[in-house]
Amino acid sequence: MDSEKGKAQDYRSVYTFIFTFFYLFEGIHQGMVYVYPFLLMKFQEGAYDAAMIMYISSATSLPWAFKFIVGAINDKWGSKRLGRRFPFILGGGGFCAIFWVVFALKLPELSYNTPQVYGQLLFYSIMTNIGMAIADTAIDGLILDITTKDKLGKVQSITWGFLLIGSTFGGAGLGFVFLQFDLLALFFMLTGIFCFIGSVLTIFVKERVSDSIVLIKGDIRKLFVKKENWKVYSFTLTESATNPMISLIFPIAVLVSIGSLNSEETLLILASGNIGSLFIDTVVIQIGYGIGVTIGILIAYRITDRSRSRSVRLGYYFYIPMCFIAIFFKGLILGNIAMGFFGLSYGLISVSGQTVRGDIAKQHFKDAKSTFFAILISISNAGLALGNFLIGLIFQFLALRVANFDLLMFLVMCFCALILIISLVSFNSINPDYYEFKKNLENIEVIDVNLKENED
């Protein structure tokens, strides 16, 4: 309790702004993958391979799957002068920024001949994500270090909310606009610069000296032998696997239904020959998704501190039924409504789920919280990579065997629904006492005692 009071006195409101700034531009960085199809269509005679985009998205998630290694190192080593977290945040942010700037400078020289162009997109995407994954791991640990339990839910709701907003409105939305005016290289460069600025700003966040500790064997052992943790791992793996599928694949169904795109197996071809009209249709769809995400974030912000479980489950109750019926939402208006519900569901689950993981890391792994949290994020990104790879594989397999495009998309969405059902079952299996931390912090010791008795 004394430690919590000390943190409460040390935590300043400006820290929330610094964290939010970082996550906003991290979101813009992550949203760049949504611009790639338009970049390809602009230089490849109005066509791109949807399965290849899914494979690229899968591969670029791989650096994030190794965050647990960075987390373990960051929990043990750092700089006496600069602290444990800041050197990793600055180093990772700088590495990411360098490759965004190089990518921007090389963009006019890129060869837009298949398959070289896919390889070039893959290389720069992986390199920028390596840097951002390192910085993200360290800033996650910093937030857990200095934020009190009663503030953690709101801080993580705000920061992850802006991450999603940056990805939806920034990376996707602004990326489309810059591409239309042939300024995508400038956008890449600005993204790198602001990611670096976000990393530098964290130097103003005061790290707690008492948190400069080494890993404790008991905590490391608990990471792998505690049954409850494996339930959390299962929930995290499956929770992250479906959103990229839906946010990348379902808009294709809407665009095909309104005649903006034609499909030939996995190849998507511009129907009108005018990329500008396709751009406008896509922006409208993404606006619906972005509004849904924003509403989901606001709902999570309001109810997560009162009940983590209720907030997470509410997201699934919207998400799963929509997967089965979304294919019937044809046309721009109905498709936009479906995307809005998908965004709302994702916003709820992502923000609330992240708060749950943060609570567990902070309460049960005090001496290895960054390691545990990094393991969870690694699993989450492994799920994302696996999901993108599987959906690319399934899309490619079905496209060669199912002639009806609506049936093809319905089968893909059913696969997404199946994964979501498994994810919900995994979440429901977790003991709520393991992550539900109310503002009455004195009850936490009682909860820990009960859990230990159950283990015995």
pLDDT of the residue at 444:
42
Cα 223 to Cα 65: distance, rounded to the nearest angstrom? 17
Residues whose CB is less than 8 angstroms from the CB of residue 45 and which lie 6 or more positions away in sequence, other chains included: none
**SS3 state at 98:** helix
Q: Is 262 exposed, middle or buried (0-12, 13-18, 19+ CB in 10 A)?
A: middle
Domain CATH code at residue 249: 1.20.1250.20
Partners of 79 in beta bridges:
83
* C-alpha dist (Å) from residue 425 to 167, 310, 437: 28, 14, 21
pLDDT of the residue at 423:
93
pLDDT of the residue at 440:
38
- Residue pair 397/268 in contact (Cβ under 8 Å)? The answer is no
Whether 1 maps to a domain, the answer reads: no
Which tokens sit at 366?
């005090």
Whether 7 maps to a domain, the answer reads: no
In terms of phi and psi (left: phi > 0; alpha: psi -120 to 50; beta: otherwise), the region of 311 is alpha
Buried b (16+ CB within 10 A) or exposed e, 131-143: bbbbbbbbbbbbb
Using DSSP bridges, classify how beta strands 261-264 and 267-270 pair: parallel, antiparallel or unpaired.
Answer: antiparallel
Q: What's the distance, CA 425 to chain centroid?
A: 21
Cα 179 to Cα 41: distance, rounded to the nearest angstrom? 11
Whether 281 maps to a domain, the answer reads: yes
pLDDT of the residue at 213:
44
Whether 389 maps to a domain, the answer reads: yes
pLDDT of the residue at 1:
46
Structural domain harbouring 18: 12-455
- Residue pair 247/289 in contact (Cβ under 8 Å)? The answer is yes
With DSSP H G I counted as helix, E B as strand and the rest as coil, what are the percentages for the chain, rounded to 5?
Answer: 80, 5, 15
Whether 3 maps to a domain, the answer reads: no
Cα 294 to Cα 165: distance, rounded to the nearest angstrom? 7
pLDDT in 10s for each residue of the chain, 456 residues? 445 454 545 678 889 899 999 999 999 998 888 788 777 777 666 667 777 777 787 778 778 877 777 777 777 776 667 777 888 999 999 999 999 999 999 887 765 555 677 788 889 999 999 999 999 988 988 888 888 777 777 787 788 788 888 887 777 778 878 887 888 899 999 999 999 999 999 999 887 654 444 444 555 566 676 788 889 889 988 888 877 667 777 888 888 888 877 777 556 666 655 666 777 787 788 788 888 888 988 888 888 777 888 889 999 999 999 999 988 888 888 988 998 999 899 888 988 888 888 778 777 776 666 677 778 877 887 887 788 788 778 877 877 777 788 888 888 888 889 999 999 999 999 888 887 765 434 444 444 444 455 545
Number of domains in the chain: 1
In angstroms, how far is the first alpha carbon of the chain from the final one? 26
* C-alpha dist (Å) from residue 98 to 57, 86, 224, 434: 21, 18, 37, 41
pLDDT of the residue at 451:
46
pLDDT of the residue at 447:
41
Whether 69 maps to a domain, the answer reads: yes
pLDDT of the residue at 265:
57
Using DSSP bridges, classify how beta strands 261-264 and 47-49 pair: parallel, antiparallel or unpaired.
Answer: unpaired
The pTM assigned to this predicted structure is: 0.70
Cα 293 to Cα 401: distance, rounded to the nearest angstrom? 34
- Residue pair 415/391 in contact (Cβ under 8 Å)? The answer is yes
pLDDT of the residue at 113:
58
Which tokens sit at 2?
């004394």
Whether 325 maps to a domain, the answer reads: yes
**SS3 state at 383:** helix
- Residue pair 379/227 in contact (Cβ under 8 Å)? The answer is no
Cα 148 to Cα 11: distance, rounded to the nearest angstrom? 8
Give phi and psi for 177, each to the nearest 5.
-65, -50
Whether 437 maps to a domain, the answer reads: yes
pLDDT of the residue at 380:
82
